[in-house]
A and B are shown apart, each in its own frame.
Chain A
Amino acid sequence: MHEAVTEGYAHITSGALIAALLIFLASYGIIISEKIHRTTIAMLGSALMVILGIFLDFYDQHRAIAAVDFNTIGLLVGMMIIVGIAKDTGLFQYVAIRSAKFAKGDPWRIMVLFVIITGVFSAFLDNVTTVLLMVPMTMVICDNLDINPMPFLLVEILASNIGGTATLIGDPPNILIGSAAGLSFMDFIVNLSPVVIVMFVLSVPMMKWMYKDKIGTSKEKMESIMRLDENESISDPVLLKKSLFVLALVIVGFFLHGWLHMEGATIAIFGAALLLLLDKKNPEKVLEGVEWVTIFFFIGLFIIIGGLEHVGAINWAAEKLIAATGGDLKVTALAILWGGAFFSAFVDNIPFVATMIPLVHNMGSVFQNLDPIWWSLALGACLGGNGTLVGASANLVVAGMAEKSGYKINFIEFMKVGMVIMVFTVAISNIYLLIRYL
């Protein structure tokens, strides 16, 4: 769990403060501009923060290591290993074909089922893996129906970001928040899943209105779906059973982790190790599949923000934010919800949330109960990902795959739909927060 920095700031010189702020702003500026890879900048920024921290006496290597949230890192790595092995079993394709047949090949019903599948898988796996598995299946089904896959791809992007909001492991901002605030998997289920389900229920009619007429097909094409054999997708039934067993164990572990006094990382790493053992796969191959680029990005961010905390900048910003909102919990929470959504729509939500976390911790001196603010932050940052094509990595993954297959998702066209859904879902969150917490 995140420890708020409690030391005084009397020894901090204005030079140190300016230096730390410059490193932070320059790093974030370059990350947002996307001129240089974000991981390179995070690593460079974090190293500079430590070097300057030593010279100007506000930060050092021990504090930098302490600033890294290894629970988040462990949870991400563990889940990446489990998903990396489980994704090749064909389970996903099996579920998709079964549901397309259950829909009797009717495009609109398939769309609704694919939205649900994408939402549920995004909640329990990660969004990027979910869409990576969902897009090819969608293209194949649309080829069979001889319809344009574009509406399907758009609703799947939206569903993955909404679904990811529902659980602690669904979206990286939630992992960060859960770990730092000491909120359990069950806390997320109890507090966020109900409103996410409402969002899905209310979004489907909007999707129907937007797309139902655009995805018509013929009787024969619908029948061609019924001829697909879902069993062909199961490439390795033994591995499928092992993966399902471990996934089930891990998810049960998550549900109980608060009660077991275990952090998410412990459960995820245990599951990963168990699956590696059962599968007898070469761990070198599996570990190569872990997105180390993302992991190092997180580590770099933690260290940069740790520097800001130790120099007193976070404390200062928290005071200013509270002053701006008049110390009113309702105004603060809703400002974070809407501000977070619009900010996350245009820039990476991970650095935003990573910076907001210590800031919210600092507000603990003013507000008795920080939970409404944590939920506002989670809802804003996750749902904001739908606002634009660059709002979340899943969006870019779908766009990339679609473009290479001859379907270009235009930035403005996406925003017309994405922004509407984003504002709609954030408005639902707003009402929910007001009724339940504020």
Chain B
Amino acid sequence: MSREFCVISPDKTIKDAITAMVEKKTNSLVVVNEENKPIGILSSYTLIKEAVPAYLKDDPIYSNFGAEGTLDKYAAKMKDKKIEEIMHKDFHILSEEDAMIEAASYAIEASRRMLPVVDAQGKVIGVINRTSIKNALYHAMQNGEKDAS
């Protein structure tokens, strides 16, 4: 589990979220309510998806002919949207006692790159992201080899 994570409140805008991500050098934010309980996940993937207009989503081939400034135009359109409108509300919450395989199984579902970990009161105390799972895999393999030798 990583204790380095960023939280944001749902009434902030997409611009606030992007700013936080760039400043904190992270790709995901945990959206929390006043009690610090997780109510959503916001990833850079979701933000990019929001920026790409609907007519390019089905088949990106059209963007080969895209005009200069199209991304800027849609960035301007979405910047004041509230986070709660676009965040992932359907996400899995882990507790500290949960096994790593649970984290790994949920993390492979598309666009769910991060799983919040909560304490007994349901407050966020950390996150499991892909780096955490990758590190766990690394340790598992190292230990496996040690046991074998």
Q: Hey, which bits of chain A sit against chain B, CB under 8 A?
A: 88, 90, 93, 97, 132, 135-137, 139-141, 143-144, 146, 224, 228, 232-233, 235, 401, 404-406
CB distance from A128 to the nearest CB of B (A): 13
Give the interface size class of chain B.
10 to 19
Main SS at interface, chain B: helix
Choose one: B53, B54, B64; the contact of A232 (CB below 8 Å).
B64
Q: Which of B63, B64, B67, B77 contacts A406 (CB 8 A)?
A: B77
* B62–A137 touching, CB < 8 Å: yes
B56, B59, B63, B74 interface centre (most CB from chain A within 10 Å): B59
Q: Which of B23-73 contact A (CB under 8 A)?
A: 53-56, 58-59, 61-67, 70, 73
Knowing A405-B53, A405-B55 touch, does A136 contact B67 (C-beta < 8 A)? Answer: no
Contacts of A141 in B (CB 8 A): 65
Enumerate chain B residues within 8 angstroms of A143, measured Cβ to Cβ. 66-67, 70, 73
Given A136-B59, A143-B70, CB of A404 within 8 Å of CB of B65 = no
B65 to chain A, nearest CB (A): 5
**Once the chains bind, are B53 and A404 in contact (CB under 8 Å)?**
yes
Are A401 and B62 closer than 8 Å at their CB atoms?
Answer: no
B44 to chain A, nearest CB (A): 21
Distance (Å) between the CB of A7 and the closest chain B CB? 50
Determine whether the beta carbon of A136 is less than 8 Å from that of B56: yes
Is the beta-carbon distance between B64 and A233 smaller than 8 angstroms?
Answer: yes
A228 touches B55 (CB 8 A): no
10 cross-chain CB contacts under 8 A? A132-B58, A136-B58, A136-B62, A139-B53, A140-B55, A141-B65, A233-B65, A401-B54, A404-B55, A405-B54
Bound together, the chains give a CA A346 to CA B45 distance in angstroms of 40
Q: Which single residue of chain B is at the shortest CB-CB distance from A224?
A: B67
Smallest CB separation, A217 vs chain B (Å): 12
CB neighbours (8 Å) of B67 from chain A are 140, 143-144, 146, 224
- A136's contact among B55, B73, B74, B77, by CB below 8 Å, is which? B55
B110 → chain A closest CB, angstroms: 18
What are the residues of chain B within 8 A of A406 when measuring CB–CB?
53, 74, 77
**Nearest A-chain residue to B57, judged by Cβ:** A404
The answer to whether B54 and A140 have CB atoms under 8 Å apart is: no
Most buried by A among B55, B58, B65, B74: B65
Name the CB-closest residue of A to B74: A406
Q: Which residues of A contact B64 (CB under 8 A)?
A: 232-233
Nearest B-chain residue to A133, judged by Cβ = B59
Residues from chain A with Cβ under 8 Å of B65 in the complex: 93, 97, 140-141, 144, 228, 232-233
Bound-state CA distance A141–B133 (Å) is: 44
With A93-B61, A93-B65 already in contact, 18 other A-B pairs whose C-beta atoms are closer than 8 Å: A97-B65, A132-B58, A136-B56, A136-B59, A136-B62, A137-B62, A139-B55, A139-B62, A140-B63, A140-B65, A140-B66, A141-B65, A143-B70, A232-B65, A401-B54, A404-B53, A404-B54, A406-B74
- Please measure, in the bound complex, the distance between the C-alpha atom of A405 and the C-alpha atom of B52, giving whole angstroms: 9
Contact B53 A90 (CB under 8 A): no
Specify which chain A residues have a CB less than 8 angstroms from the CB of B54 in the assembled complex. 401, 404-405
Kindly state the separation between the CA atoms of A347 and B61 in the bound complex, as whole angstroms. 35
